[in-house]
Structure 1
Amino acid sequence: MSASPQKAEVLTFGCRLNMVDSEELARRHGGAAETVVVNTCAVTGEATRQARQAIRRLHRERPEARIVVAGCAARIDPQGFESMAGVTRVIAEQPPTRAFAASEGTRGFLAVQNGCDHSCTFCIIPTGRGASRSVAPREIVAQARALVEGGKQEIVLTGVDLTSYDADGLKLGGLLRLLLRETPALARLRLSSIDCIEADDDLLIALGEEERLCPHLHLSLQAGDDLILKRMKRRHLRADAIRFCERLRAVRPDIVLGADFIAGFPTETEEMFAQTRALVDDCGLTHLHVFPFSPRPGTPAARMPQVARDVAKDRAARLREDGEGALERHLAVQVGKTLELLTERGGMARAADFTLARTPGVEAGRMIEARVVSHDRRALLTSPLPSPPPLSPERKSGAG
């Protein structure tokens, strides 16, 4: 039997989709030579700076290594990365529209869409990933089945603009129903970040009817003030976000919501920022991803009147504090409940609604029931319930 080909080492920056891309890059660039692939992100100037810093450190510490640079930042500025010492190759072509899968411990990630047709003023990603394109459902089902056969109990669907999925007559809601029907052994199907204004009605129907579809969504909201949303060139307004969250809770009362926010966007006043802070409660958000605005060269927002960097950082810190308070309130409500948890490495686990739990001493990859005894403001503290004893031969056969 021949040995499996050696995978290249990969340093991944950015989103979950990049993590899926990294799995393919590791396979493609593996071999005998010492190769390190740096999969870059361009969502902010800071993300690109970190990638460049990592390349310089790699070349300094491992001068014999072949450094291959890929990802969004490499596609946007290939010449800039080609000029860096130690870089052997820059991959500037767009990634193919295929159903790539990646594993992260106990869950699998499945890329079903790539690219974006929108033009948010702060975002350079359409330049880095191209126009929106969707993977054929049959490819997605095949990859999902392979992940399940490989032992994955949870699959996360990911993409640049997931709610724009449209292939072979199926939109996102229809794809979810197909996947759940074709993978009956899959315990959980989860979605990554979605756009509230683009979600189709079938998605809400699926959330209400499909128990294995996780009651958790992460929303790309970015701001809570209408004028800032217009200057961002977002396609929703404040009221749209609130209405969407209300519709979600109407069909799935146990749903838990997260959101991305940018603090200190150009022209944002303190009053406008207050509208964003209020949206956390108005939408009933639990998990926040907050970023101080970072101007990205080549975007319209970089040419707008800027908010002072220290002000943007201060606003981001306050918004994160709001998120910490919302998470703490959510955790407190869970105390005393019995939850089904999927265990991960490091003594951690996730509930179906993405709530983090501590399960010390329990091996990864198990679906367990645990009672919530307390929390530490970040995660639930749990006590696993004993598994039921196996049936005796007599009880299995119904004898006696």
Structure 2
Amino acid sequence: MSDVITLGCRLNIAESEAIRTMLPDNDLIVVNSCAVTEEAVRQTRRAIRRAHRERPDARIVVTGCAAEVEREAFAAMPEVSRVVSNLKKLRSGSYSPFASSEVEKRISTSLDTNGSQVQTHARAFVEVQNGCDHRCTFCIIPYGRGPSRSTPAGAVIERIRLLVDQGAQEVVLTGVDLTSYGDLTGDSLGLLVERVLKAVPALPRLRLSSLDPIEIDDRLFALIVGETRLMPHLHLSLQAGDDMILKRMKRRHLRADAIRLVERIKAARSEIAIGADLIAGFPTETEAMFANSLRIVDECDIVFGHIFPYSPRRGTPAARMPQVEPEVVRARAKRLREACAERQARWLDGLVGTRQQVLVELDGRTGHAENFAKVELGVPLPLARGARGGNSSPGDPRAGPPPAPPASGRGEILRTLITARRGDTLIGSPE
């Protein structure tokens, strides 16, 4: 039996599902790797070794960003049969037992427009953009993904129509640098979103993956705040909240730009939930600089924080800058995570007692609201006398037993009464 092991971003998740449909029915394991941090590369190596221990007779093929930037090192691993480049990972011939086992040495600049058009869980991910033309000083991804390139809008629309015909209730547009969409034709992400919503009226929910705040133009902004089928959840690539650190990262926005954008969004559509990437312990970061990043959690109302302790990537400019002590990096990352968790808990508590439209996952037990809050589904939970549902926490006996899964509704959107919070998850009862 063939299988795919996925590490890293949503784009990798989408591509892995596409790869899964291409695999021959034999003992083949594809490891779709991540290189965003050194830890991600280590996890890739551990995944390869674990897969080999568990299935010693299976052939292991490695692809993804870690395999792209450290291809010779992965090819030299005795467990690995083949390394496939990112540009060829979505070509079915790459996984044929007769494909060349030589490590690919050249990166083609041609665009493979086959892309992914697959359904993951109850949501479908559609890759519309790949690669990146920017050179943030900390980032290795452009070296693994190549230059920015977009899938033509007509092809994107046809994929989404197919997915909706197959029952998809929500589509997520993904890319490495999604807001740079349009390099082939001069189109923009906003125009693509407009065309998708107009051409596929049967699509109930459209969601966007990570956005660069400096590239959200007026057309896209108007859709974000005014189009109800565009989900009220944005993930922003902020990275830091201090201007000097942002400049040293070679980011194109300042903290005031991020704050002003979120204020404008919230003023026009208050229910939008904000997520963000933040890096702790970037080289030269002082305690005062870090304090600015810590404050931006509240200033931008970040309820979904993706926190990364800085990890030097060989070959990037940031790796040559004066480094922060590792224990300080870890401590700052912990403080950022705690700040985001507190902000999220307050936000989730405010949703208790409301009714949310929840897309039920295929397990029938969980789902996501339009604002991407995770919801565990079942019967209303009993609470202790006088207890507030919004204050329950992991391990809190007031949260009661896990709810029973609903008898139906998998892959459907259900109106759900939110009755409590357990940690980072809401508890809801479908009506």
TM-score, length basis structure 1: 0.92
Distance (Å, rounded) in 1 between the aligned partners of 2:237 and 2:302 = 12
Task: Name the SS for the 2:259 alignment partner.
Answer: helix
Question: Is the contact made by 2:128 and 2:173 (CA closer than 8 Å) also made in structure 1?
Answer: yes
The alignment status of 1:365 with 2:391, answered yes or no, reads no
Query: Which deviations, in whole Å up to 9, do the C-alpha atoms of 1:183-230 show, x marking residues without a partner?
Result: 111110000111000112111111232110001100010110011111
Match of 2:125 in 1: 109
- In 1, the alpha carbon distance for the partners of 2:148 and 2:250 equals 18
Q: Report the equivalent of 1:19.
A: 13
Give CA deviations for 1:142-199 in whole Å, capped at 9, x if unaligned: 1101111111100000000000001434201111111111111111000011100011
> Is 1:146 matched up with 2:192?
no
Name the counterpart of 1:122.
Answer: 138
User: 1:59–1:85: 8 Å Cα contact kept in structure 2?
Assistant: no
SS of the residue 2:29 aligns to: strand
Letter in 2 for 1:353: N
**Is the CA contact 1:116–1:129 (under 8 Å) kept in the aligned structure 2?**
yes
How far residue 53 of structure 1 moved from its aligned partner, in angstroms, is 1.3
The alignment status of 1:332 with 2:349, answered yes or no, reads yes
Moved over 3 A (4+): none
Give the gaps of 5 or more residues in structure 2. Answer: 89-111, 379-404
Take 2:330 and 2:370, find their aligned partners in 1: how far apart are those partners? 32
User: Is 1:207 paired with 2:224?
Assistant: yes
Q: Where does residue 51 of structure 2 map in the other structure?
A: 58
Task: Give the equivalent residue in structure 2 for 1:162.
Answer: 178
Deviation at 1:94, TM superposition (A): 2.1
Return closer, same or farther for 1:97/1:299 CA change in 2, 3 Å cut-off.
farther
In structure 1, stretches of 5+ residues that fail to align are 1-5, 386-400
**Residues 67-108 of structure 1: CA distance to partner in whole angstroms, max 9, x if unpaired?**
111111111121111110121111125252434122221110
Instruction: Give the distance between the partners of 1:250 and 1:351, measured in 2 at CA.
Output: 21
Q: Does 1:229 align with 2:246?
A: yes
Is 2:89 the counterpart of 1:43?
no
- Does residue 282 in structure 1 map to residue 307 in structure 2? no
Deviation digits for residues 237-269 of structure 1 (CA, Å, limit 9, x no counterpart): 110101111121233222110101110111111
Structure 1 residue 58, shift from structure 2 partner:
2.0
The separation in 2 between residues aligned to 1:32 and 1:211, in whole angstroms, is: 42
1:352 aligns with 2:370: yes
2:427 aligned partner: 381
Q: Is 1:196 aligned with 2:242?
A: no
Alignment size in residue pairs? 378
Number of the residue aligned with 1:136: 152
Q: Is the 8 A contact 2:28 2:59 kept in 1?
A: yes
CA distance in 2, matches of 1:191, 1:93: 22
For residues 46-77 of structure 1, the C-alpha deviation after alignment (integer angstroms, 9 at most, x for no partner) is 10111111112222332211111111111112
* Pairing 1:87–2:85 present: no
Match of 1:216 in 2: 233
Query: Residue 261 of structure 1 aligns to a residue in which SS?
Result: strand
Question: How many angstroms apart in 2 are the aligned matches of 1:274 and 1:103?
Answer: 40
Normalization by structure 2: what TM-score? 0.85
Task: State the AA in 2 paired with 1:324.
Answer: A
Query: Residue type of the partner of 2:21?
Result: R
Give the deviation of 1:295 after TM superposition.
Answer: 1.1
For the aligned residues, what is the CA RMSD? 1.4
